[in-house]
């Protein structure tokens, strides 16, 4: 990807680029890369995504180019290129590993045959040849590591093999090299498969579009389609780019984006998104976003960024790994030196044990045991329309004990409708609507949409309003036809000293669970509008599932009136509700909840509850497919408005942490067992090599189970 955030400061050009790095499979390689890149002038930050083999680099484009960055990495023996610019011959590494492995295996077979024929010297020569051939790859890597003053698995392996040759263990040396080659090949393959599986979950947009121009249709790569171009989406095809339908109707399946597989009926004027699947109708679409800016591209970008962030469990593992390797190396030196010096009779045996320790000192399985699970979980979530912005949020989600919901637009559909216009005696319905709608015309609140829709449906012409202003959590105000108009909660009017006469109809509407907004024109109460907003169909079920998951407390927070809130709270059976809250009061309540009972999750729609979302341990924003703000700001964004995704997210988070624990336990247990076996002399070199790879492969396979979780 070319630098995608170019913002110009006085003398710096902050840029960000994502690279793919072939050969970055374990932590040591990251260390090597960092040592190479950090000294480059203009480099600002590097973060590595081991599982995706991606390197996110922030740099000053005034002083550094992506070509210079790629060059610097070229010296390490790893290959790097700008993401989406995959060069020919990508994957050559794996092919070479395979060839050398086969050759080395053949040499071993020859050696064994020669041994059987009683020809010792040529047999030894065959084994040495096998070791040299199979060792070529690791030796090259070991050299780079040594040049960057780090130890990596390759270095350790080369030392172990040299040691075995020194002891005259020809077959042993050859088989270690061979097994190591097999192991590495398997590991690279497994990780490659994992990468593909994960990527396939989210990257689903077509590469070509049918563009119509001058009455002709031609197929074009999506990156050459411009904004304003007209494209044709045939029945059953995937939508290639974001755009607005100009002709045709279709039932569009938005599951790739929202996780919601129920098709949505779309027609002229409505937006369609890249990656979604057109149903039976043909659609003519006017493109509104370039391929790199589509909603799907942003989702993928967010998921990838999330994958490069580190979860706290991961730092624990990394800290452990940093102590573990030197500790085992010290132990190896001690085992090789101390017993012989103390007069043990078989120095070669102790030397051999030290070599086994070298082999198991690589913490690779342990190091990938956490990120691989977390990345799999983030991808599985994304596929189901739940965007989790990083492993840390996933960890905190698993600890949630209290869930707070916003009411309007979250527990309720937000598909608000005006059910009654209740002017004060002597005031006309149409005037009331006219003033209210004028003031609401700029607001994004569901109530505002409802008022405007009702005005249009009643044939009321909506005048423009000067100085229209939102009062968050209370309402809106503005000047219409030269008079001041206020629309909103009663408190808004009372706060301005305006008397509100509560008619019986208003109270009845509230007791029925409806919301009421009152209107003042020119400082005098003019009447009220009753609005109905039903709870979402799955709200009860979602709350029930949360209870089954052991959530101790479910709270509803709303800016709406007490009576309306009471009714909805009773219907949904929440444990606690708080009404008439301003945004900052929702914030304060969430802080208070956090004091009491463990991690607090806040679920909102981002309208008047952004501070509360930020105050919670985890904030989930609904409806992110429709709102850029919600997509970017919350810790977790639900692409669809489906409340059932909330218990799903918690369940997935818990499953992931269990998965991580199992993975860490497997790799630690294997290490511990082999440590003991190595010291006591029960383990051989080739067993150690097998155990090490075995652990990596098991750990990755276990993590991939999360991809299948529903
Ligand atoms: P909730 O917390 O239930 O999502 P909000 O905090 O968004 O509700 O709004 C609280 C109350 O403030 C609403 O019930 C309504 O009375 C009033 N209000 C907020 N914004 C508007 C608006 N744009 N127009 C009219 N009333 C509004
Ligand atoms: Mg709301």
| DSSP output for 665-695 | HHHHHHHHHHHHHHHHT---HHHHHHHHHHH
Q: Quick check: is 25 catalytic?
A: no
Q: Is the beta carbon of 440 within 6 A of some atom in ligand 1?
A: yes
Question: Which whole number is the average pLDDT over 189-205?
Answer: 73
How many other CB atoms are there within 10 angstroms of residue 667's CB atom? 25
Which of 447, 478, 584, 613 is the pocket-test mutation for ligand 1 (most atoms within 8 Å of CB)? Answer: 447
Q: How far apart are alpha carbons 37 and 607 in whole angstroms? A: 43
DSSP string, 505-563: HHHHHHHTT-EEEEEEETTEEEEEEEEE-PBPTTHHHHHHHHHHTT--EEEEE-SS-HH
Name residue 340's beta-bridge partners: none
DSSP labels for 434-472? HHHHHHHTT--SHHHHHHHHHHHHTTPPPPP-EEEEEET
Residue whose CA is at the smallest distance from ligand 1 atom 13:
560
Q: What φ, ψ does residue 13 adopt, rounded to 5°? A: -120, 95
Tens of pLDDT, residues 560-606: 989 889 999 999 999 999 999 998 999 999 999 998 878 999 999 87
Rounded Cα–Cα distance for residues 199 and 204 (Å) = 9
pLDDT value at residue 3: 40
pLDDT at 51 over 50: yes
User: What dihedral do alpha carbons 668, 673, 678, 682 form, nearest 10°?
Assistant: -160
Q: Angle formed by the axes of helices 170-202 and 364-383, to 10°?
A: 20
Catalytic residue (choose from 406, 533, 560, 641):
406
Q: Is the CB of 652 under 6 A from ligand 1?
A: no
What would the 3-class secondary structure string for 178-207 be? HHHHHHHHHHHHHHHHHHHHHHHHHCCCCC
The confidence score (pLDDT) of residue 89 equals 53
147-176 mean pLDDT: 86
- pLDDT above 70: residue 168: yes
What is the predicted pLDDT for the residue at 1? 36
Average of per-residue pLDDT across 434-450: 90
pLDDT 10s digits, 637-652: 998 888 999 999 999 9
Q: What is the pLDDT of residues 481-515, one digit of tens each?
A: 999 999 999 889 989 999 887 667 788 888 888 88
Residue 265 C-alpha to ligand 1 middle, in angstroms? 29
Distance CA(407)–CA(110), nearest Å, equals 75
- Using DSSP's 3-state secondary structure scheme, residue 613 falls into helix
- Confirm if 68 and 108 have CB atoms less than 8 A apart: no
pLDDT value at 250 more than 50: yes
Residue recorded with tokens 């730092």: 315
Closest by Cα among 441, 463, 528, 536 to 492: 528
**Which of helix, strand or coil describes residue 139?**
helix
So what's the pLDDT on residue 687? 87
622 within ligand 1 shell (Cβ under 6 A): no
Q: Is 220 helix (H, G, I), strand (E, B) or coil?
A: strand
Q: Residue 366: which H helix or E strand, with range?
A: helix 364-383
Torsional sign, CA 331, 336, 340, 346 = positive
Q: Which secondary structure element, helix H or strand E, spans residue 407, and what is its range?
A: none
Ligand 1 closest atom vs CA 560: 14
The vertex-597 CA angle with 596 and 598, nearest 5°, equals 120
Give the pLDDT band of residue 91 (cuts 50, 70, 90): low
Whether 533 is in the pocket of ligand 1, judged by its Cβ within 6 Å, is: no
Give the C-alpha separation, 556 to 569, whole Å.
7
Query: CA 255, CA 260: separation in Å to the nearest integer?
Result: 5
215: alpha, beta or left? (left if phi > 0; alpha if psi -120 to 50): left
Say if residues 557 and 607 touch (Cβ distance below 8 Å): no
pLDDT, tens digit, for every residue of 365-415? 787 888 888 888 988 898 888 989 888 999 999 999 999 999 988 999 878
User: What pLDDT is attached to residue 552?
Assistant: 92
For residues 554 and 575, the answer to whether their CB atoms sit within 8 Å is yes
| Helices H / strands E in the chain, number of each | 23, 26
CA dist 296 to 54, 135, 387, 489, 625, Å? 19, 44, 12, 38, 9
Per-residue pLDDT, averaged over 245-265, amounts to: 85
Instruction: Give the model's pLDDT for residue 359.
Output: 85
559: CA distance to ligand 1 center in Å? 6
How far apart (Å, rounded) are the C-alpha atoms in residues 117 and 698? 39
Q: Which residues lie below 8 Å from residue 188, measured CB to CB, with a gap of 6+?
A: 25, 93, 94, 97
- DSSP string covering 14-71: EEEEEEEEET--SHHHHHHHHHHHTTSTTEEEEEEETTTTEEEEEEETTT--HHHHHH
The candidate with the shortest Cα–Cα distance to 160, out of 185, 134, 186, 124, is 134
Answer whether 447 contacts ligand 1 (Cβ < 6 A): yes
Token pair for residue 628? Answer: 């850029």
Using CA atoms, how far apart are residues 279 and 25, in angstroms rounded to an integer?
41
Q: First-to-last CA distance in the chain?
A: 32
Q: Quote the mean pLDDT of the chain.
A: 86
Distance in Å, CA 473 to ligand 1 centroid: 5
Closest C-alpha residue for ligand 1 atom 20: 475
Ligand 1 neighbourhood includes 604 CB (under 6 angstroms): no
So what's the pLDDT on residue 243? 94
Residues 6+ apart with CB under 8 A from 373: 656, 659, 660, 663, 702, 703, 706
Q: Nearest to residue 76, comparing CAs of 148, 15, 131?
A: 148
Tokens of 268: 């002229």
Q: How confident is the model at residue 528 (pLDDT cuts 50, 70, 90)?
A: very high
CA of residue 519 to ligand 2 center, whole Å: 20
Take residue 404 and report the two structure tokens written for it: 């707070």
């Amino acid at each position: 990807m070319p630098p995608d955030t170019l913002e110009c400061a006085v003398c710096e050009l902050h840029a960000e680029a994502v690279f793919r790095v072939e050969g970055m499979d374990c932590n040591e390689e990251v260390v090597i890369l960092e040592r190479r890149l950090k000294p480059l002038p203009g480099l600002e930050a590097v973060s590595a995504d081991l599982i995706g083999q991606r390197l996110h680099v922030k740099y000053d484009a005034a002083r550094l180019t992506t070509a210079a960055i790629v060059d610097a990495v070229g010296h390490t023996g790893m290959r790097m290129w700008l993401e989406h610019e995959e060069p020919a011959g990508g994957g050559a590494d794996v092919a070479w590993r395979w060839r050398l492995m086969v050759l080395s295996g053949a040499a071993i077979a020859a050696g064994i045959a020669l041994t059987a024929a009683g020809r010792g010297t040529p047999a030894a020569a065959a084994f040495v040849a096998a070791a040299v051939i199979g060792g070529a790859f690791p030796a090259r890597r070991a050299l780079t590591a040594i040049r960057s003053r780090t130890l990596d698995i390759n270095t350790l392996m080369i030392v172990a093999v040299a040691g075995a040759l020194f002891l005259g263990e020809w077959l042993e040396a050859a088989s270690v090299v061979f097994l190591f080659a097999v192991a590495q090949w398997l590991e690279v393959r497994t990780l490659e498969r994992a990468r593909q599986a994960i990527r396939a979950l989210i990257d689903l947009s077509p590469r070509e579009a049918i563009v119509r121009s001058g009455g002709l249709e031609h197929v074009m790569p999506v990156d050459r389609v411009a904004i304003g171009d007209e494209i044709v989406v045939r029945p059953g095809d995937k939508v290639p780019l974001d755009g607005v339908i100009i002709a045709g109707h279709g039932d569009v399946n938005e599951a790739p984006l929202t996780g919601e597989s129920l098709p949505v009926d779309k027609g002229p004027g409505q937006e369609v998104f890249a990656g979604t699947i057109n149903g039976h109708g043909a659609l003519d679409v006017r493109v509104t976003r370039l391929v790199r800016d589509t909603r799907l591209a942003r989702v993928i970008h967010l998921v990838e960024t999330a994958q490069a962030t580190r979860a706290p469990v991961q730092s624990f593992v990394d800290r452990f790994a940093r102590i573990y390797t030197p500790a085992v190396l010290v132990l190896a030196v001690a085992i090789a030196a101390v017993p012989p010096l103390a007069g043990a009779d078989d120095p070669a045996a102790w030397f051999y044990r030290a070599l086994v320790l070298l082999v198991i000192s690589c913490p690779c399985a342990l190091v990938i045991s956490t990120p691989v699970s977390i990345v799999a979980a983030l991808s599985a979530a994304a596929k189901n329309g739940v965007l989790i912005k990083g492993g840390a949020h996933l960890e905190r989600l698993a600890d949630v004990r209290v869930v707070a919901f916003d009411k309007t637009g979250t527990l309720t559909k937000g598909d608000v409708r005006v059910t009654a216009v209740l002017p004060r005696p002597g005031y006309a319905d149409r005037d009331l609507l006219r003033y209210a709608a004028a003031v609401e015309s700029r607001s994004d609140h569901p109530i505002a949409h409802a008022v405007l829709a009702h005005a249009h449906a009643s044939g009321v012409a909506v005048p423009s309003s000067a100085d229209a202003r939102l009062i968050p959590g209370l309402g809106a105000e503005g000047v219409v036809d030269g008079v001041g108009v206020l629309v909103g909660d009663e408190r808004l009017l009372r706060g301005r000293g305006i008397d509100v006469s509560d008619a019986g109809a208003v109270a009845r509407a509230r007791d029925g669970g409806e919301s009421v907004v009152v209107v003042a024109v020119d400082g005098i109460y003019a009447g009220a509008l009753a609005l109905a907003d039903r709870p979402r169909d799955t709200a009860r079920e979602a709350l029930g599932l949360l209870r089954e998951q052991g959530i101790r407390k479910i709270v509803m927070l709303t800016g709406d009136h007490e009576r309306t809130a009471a009714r909805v709270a009773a219907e949904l059976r929440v444990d606690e509700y708080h009404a008439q809250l301003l945004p900052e009061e929702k914030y304060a309540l969430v802080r208070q909840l956090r004091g009491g009972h463990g991690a607090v999750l806040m679920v909102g729609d981002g309208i008047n509850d952004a501070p509360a979302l930020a105050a919670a341990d985890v904030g989930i924003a609904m409806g992110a497919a429709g709102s850029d703000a919600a997509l970017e700001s919350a810790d977790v964004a639900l692409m669809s408005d489906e409340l059932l995704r909330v218990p799903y997210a918690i369940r997935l988070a818990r499953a992931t942490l269990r998965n991580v624990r199992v993975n860490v336990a497997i790799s630690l247990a294997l290490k511990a067992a082999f440590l003991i076996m190595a010291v006591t002399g029960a383990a051989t070199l080739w067993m150690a090599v097998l155990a090490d790879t075995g652990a990596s492969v098991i750990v990755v396979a276990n993590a991939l189970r999360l991809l299948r979780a529903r």
